[in-house]
Chain A
């Protein structure tokens, strides 16, 4: 399966959940969030959210900022 994660194309295993991707991106802890194809996916839905080929995922985390 081909995904774009934070702007970078990636080839990932089939049948991957968003929760699994967040662990892989080291962004599963408090302070991180995800949007798939421009839609914010609530944390409680990550486990059930199956990623699909061609999707674009933004993985964000809290950083220093004014």
Chain B
């Protein structure tokens, strides 16, 4: 059953967005795109002489999925805006996954530079999807400035530590007027399911699939997890209770 969502008026057919970083080969990326059923993949922009192993764009175009360039590695608003402009020229899309990191050790977003870059890019006509901290106040500010989605981290990029602060993700979701996409930190399928149970509109992940022992199999697991989490969210979970509550009737017990 298709379950699309909409970003900036564009319908995205799958709630699982796939990052392509970390895969051992283009063949593996191709297999994970197919196995995940994704409709959108991220790419980075790098010097042409550093590019090896064939064209990622050829793979993405062949599978008919949308490309979402990122500004990975940028540490200032200036660098991020320039990189987004280069990506727009390279790929013919004004969508950008905006990343402005504070340092290479934590890869955590720099909130001051991020907000500045987001404001500039919105002004330049970009559809901005910012990778942000799990900070409800920053998420609010990013929306207010015109971002088309907010993409809070579950935990640091590539850490596989899952969702460290589910309460903050819930709070961001409860206030959001744009799609919320959990981005970064997913380690395994249950993390992706939890993101959807918390009310996220989608999940963006890379390392957990591309660096899994069997990337295509993990891509299929992530697709199932996103679907399961989404259904559970729609179904409405039972409240947590301090004590047991019998599901079998207590009346009519035999006297033995």
Contacts and interface: CB of A to CB of B under 8 A. Distances in A.
Interface string A5-40: 011100000000000000001110111111100101
B72 interface: yes
Given A6-B48, A27-B48, A59-B47, A65 B86 contact: no
A35 B81 CA distance: 13
Contacts of B70: 65-66
A62 B90 contact: yes
Interface stretch (B15-23, B213-221, B237-245): B15-23
Chain A interface size, as a band, is 20 to 34
Contact of A30 (B19, B21, B57, B206): B57
A30 to B, nearest CB: 6
Contacts, number: 105
Contacts of B82: 35, 38, 40
B65 interface: no
B46 interface: yes
A43 B29 contact: no
A24 B158 CA distance: 36
Contacts of A40: 82, 85-86, 89
B100 interface: no
A31 B207 CA distance: 23
B44 to A, nearest CB: 3
A26 B102 CA distance: 33
B69 interface: yes
Contacts of B51: 61, 63
Interface of A: 6-8, 25-27, 29-35, 38, 40-43, 58-66
